[in-house]
Structure formats: C-alpha cells, structure tokens
C-alpha cells in the first residue's frame, strides 16, 4: 500500500449525480434482491460520532480493494463482473456447532441494526458511515467456540475472472485473509456488515459480507467474507505477510506510532480531506483499551 494525498476531490463531476435521479429507493432495493431487513434496522445510539457523516457518494467512490485495483477512485468502476450472490458463509474449526448460512438466511436470522462508526485507513484517510449489520459475537456464540479456540480467521474469495486485481497482481497471497484474537472478535464493536446507508452493501465496499473493527486500521476490516474459522494458533494475515515491517498483526489505531513511511498523528477526512488529529484506538478506547497491555503491534 502507499499513501497518496489527492489535491482536492478527484472524482469526475459526471459520476457524482445522485443515484436517486435514476432510481427510486424502493426500486433500487428490489433490483438488488433486497428483502427489506436492512431498511427497517434500528440505529444503535450507543455508538456516537464526533463528526458529521461522510456523504454516501464519497464512501462509495473512494475505496481500498486490491482484488480490483490499487486506484481508490476506480474500484467502483471495476466491480461490475463480480457476482455476490449466491453466497455461502461458513463458521468452522474449533466450534461445537459448525454453521453454514446463505447470505439471505444470515440477514434474516441475525439481529440487524445500524451503527455509525468512524473508519480510519492505515494510509491516513478517514470517513464516518452508517453500517448495517450485526455483532460478530452473536454469530460466534451460536457456533459455540471450544476451549481450544484462541483466534478467529476470516477468508475472502479469489475469482480472477471477476477481479482484475487478482488477475494481474500475482504476488499477493489471495484470497484476502485476516484474523482477530478471540476476545477482540467477541468485543461489542466487532461488527459484520451487510448494508451501508440503509441499502445493501455496495460491491465496492465489500458485498455481500464484510467485517468492521473501527478501533483498528481499515485493512483489518476484511471484505467479501466467505469463511470464518476458529483456530488454536495465530493465523497469518494478508498485509502482515506481504509487508511485515509496515503492517502489524494487531494494527490498533495509534497516533504515536508512525508508519515507517508517514506519520499517523493526523488523518484526512473524506471528501474534502480536512486534517483532523487521530485518536488512540480511533477514539474507541473506552470499549477496547482493556484488551491490550500496550505492546501489541
């Protein structure tokens, strides 16, 4: 990954025409095969923002998604061939009850709610968005982790035919994979996401299922989750394997620990790239600091 600081907003003016000029909300949802579960999800007021919400068009137009491209403003244009349905999610490994869900069953059976979270990329850009989804802990508890389960590994999918970034960047260890310690995965903030701004999750933001861990740098928030495995030993993770000296396993947001190539003290908030001081644990210390002794990297 590399940091690139755009000079103002670089999106071509034509592509920011609000979607509602083309589609009514209901037609849009039905076209996406959307059942309405997300549309009625209540907002959980426990998670407050310290800044205004990022405009929807910006969150959907500036993405990190290496399966497609390293160019953030082109991801949305390259996701067209990807087929997010049918989709199966498996929970397996050190669990008493292995589970398998279609994405539709998962959405119907989980307690879907909306949460507004800050989101801080390791590259120092940030946003704040309303995710729709359910606590990861809810799903893990259903699977009943055994006493041997210490880590939770997440795996995406690798489909070269649908993903130009996978076709052309052969050196990465696809599919994208990430992991959390079990207590981190059980933390109330760890959230599995199926929607954004009251609509189905756009492909560029990780449809049909992604993780969000707002106290960690964004690369821990794996998109395209197809497998969740509980394991005894700490799993390898995509960026930690690719560039271990730059991307630690834990990667909690820490303004005092600079990235080897840039400071992490300040972030630039979409869409105007306003500069704002970065907070320890991205401002979520009250929820997560107790899990760490301070030396996790």
> Does residue 193 belong to the site contacting ligand MTE (CB under 6 A)?
no
List the one residue from 218, 235, 248, 283 that touches ligand MTE (CB under 6 A): 218
> Does residue 221 belong to the site contacting ligand MTE (CB under 6 A)?
yes
Distance of CA 78 to the CA centre of its chain: 18
Q: Which stretch binds ligand MTE (CB under 6 A): 106-114, 216-224, 248-256, 289-297?
A: 216-224
Burial per residue of 194-205, b for 16 or more beta-carbon CB atoms within 10 angstroms, e otherwise: bbbbbbbbbbbb
By CB under 6 A, the residues from 3 to 62 that bind ligand MTE are none
- 154: nearest Cα among 229, 235, 66, 241: 229
List the one residue from 63, 187, 252, 264 that touches ligand MTE (CB under 6 A): 63
- 211: nearest Cα among 199, 197, 194: 194
Task: For residue 32, give Cα distances in angstroms to 101, 208, 272.
Answer: 19, 11, 30
End-to-end CA distance of the chain: 18
List the one residue from 67, 94, 155, 162 that touches ligand MTE (CB under 6 A): 67
Query: In this complex, which beta carbon is closest to ligand MTE, that of residue 145 or of residue 202?
Result: 202
Contact 189, 131 (CB under 8 A): no
By CB under 6 A, the residues from 114 to 153 that bind ligand MTE are 121
List the one residue from 61, 187, 194, 205 that touches ligand MTE (CB under 6 A): 205
> What's the half-sphere exposure (Cβ side, CA atoms, 13 Å) at 46?
8
Least distance to ligand MTE from the beta carbon of 96, Å?
29
> Does residue 84 belong to the site contacting ligand MTE (CB under 6 A)?
no
Query: In this complex, which beta carbon is closest to ligand MTE, that of residue 84 or of residue 156?
Result: 156
> Does residue 223 belong to the site contacting ligand MTE (CB under 6 A)?
yes
Query: In this complex, which beta carbon is closest to ligand MTE, that of residue 105 or of residue 246?
Result: 246
Q: How many residues sit close enough to ligand MTE to count as binding (CB under 6 A)?
A: 16
Query: In this complex, which beta carbon is closest to ligand MTE, that of residue 74 or of residue 150?
Result: 74
Residue facing ligand MTE at closest CB distance: 218
**Contact flags string 164-183 toward ligand MTE, x per CB under 6 A:** ------------x-------
Centre a 10 Å sphere on the Cβ of residue 124 and count the other Cβ atoms it contains.
20
Q: Which stretch binds ligand MTE (CB under 6 A): 10-18, 93-101, 142-150, 222-230?
A: 222-230
Question: At 252, is the secondary structure helix, strand, or coil?
Answer: strand
> Which tokens hold the place of 238?
């995509």
Spatial distance between the Cα atoms of 130 and 198, rounded to a whole number of angstroms: 8
Least distance to ligand MTE from the beta carbon of 97, Å?
27
Question: At 123, is the secondary structure helix, strand, or coil?
Answer: coil
Least distance to ligand MTE from the beta carbon of 218, Å?
3
Query: In this complex, which beta carbon is closest to ligand MTE, that of residue 149 or of residue 193?
Result: 193
Beta strand pairing call for 88-93 and 227-231: parallel
Task: For residue 133, give Cα distances in angstroms to 1, 199, 251.
Answer: 28, 11, 23
List the one residue from 47, 66, 174, 250 that touches ligand MTE (CB under 6 A): 66
Q: Please identify which residue in the block is written with the tokens 């989750």.
A: 225
Spatial distance between the Cα atoms of 204 and 47, rounded to a whole number of angstroms: 24
Interaction site with ligand MTE (CB under 6 A): 63-67, 121, 156, 176, 205-206, 218-219, 221-224
């Amino acid at each position: 990954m590399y940091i690139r600081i755009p000079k103002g907003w670089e999106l071509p003016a034509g592509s920011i025409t609000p979607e509602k000029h083309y589609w009514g909300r209901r037609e849009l949802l039905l076209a996406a095969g959307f059942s309405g579960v997300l549309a009625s999800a209540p907002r959980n007021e426990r998670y407050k923002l310290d800044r205004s919400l990022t405009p929807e068009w910006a969150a959907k137009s500036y993405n990190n998604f290496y399966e497609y491209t390293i160019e953030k403003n082109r991801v949305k244009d390259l996701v067209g061939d990807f087929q997010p349905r049918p989709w199966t999610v498996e929970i397996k490994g050190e669990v008493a009850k292995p589970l398998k869900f279609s994405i539709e069953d998962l959405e119907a059976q989980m307690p879907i709610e909306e949460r507004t979270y800050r989101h801080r990329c390791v590259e120092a850009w940030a946003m704040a968005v309303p995710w729709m989804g359910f606590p990861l802990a809810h799903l893990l508890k259903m699977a009943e982790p055994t006493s041997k389960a210490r880590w939770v590994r997440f795996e995406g999918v690798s489909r070269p035919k649908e993903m130009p970034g996978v076709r052309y960047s052969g050196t990465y260890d696809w599919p994208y994979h990430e992991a959390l310690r079990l207590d981190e995965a059980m933390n109330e903030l760890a959230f599995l996401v199926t929607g954004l701004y009251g609509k189905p999750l756009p492909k560029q933001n990780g449809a049909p299922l992604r993780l969000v861990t707002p106290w960690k740098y964004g690369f821990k928030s794996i998109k395209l989750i197809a497998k969740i495995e509980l394991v005894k030993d700490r799993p390898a993770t995509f960026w930690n394997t690719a560039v271990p000296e730059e991307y630690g396993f834990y990667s909690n947001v820490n303004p005092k620990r600079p990235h080897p190539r840039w400071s992490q003290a300040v972030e630039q908030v979409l869409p105007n790239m306003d500069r704002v001081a970065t907070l320890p644990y991205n401002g979520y210390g009250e929820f997560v600091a107790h899990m760490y002794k301070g030396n996790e990297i």
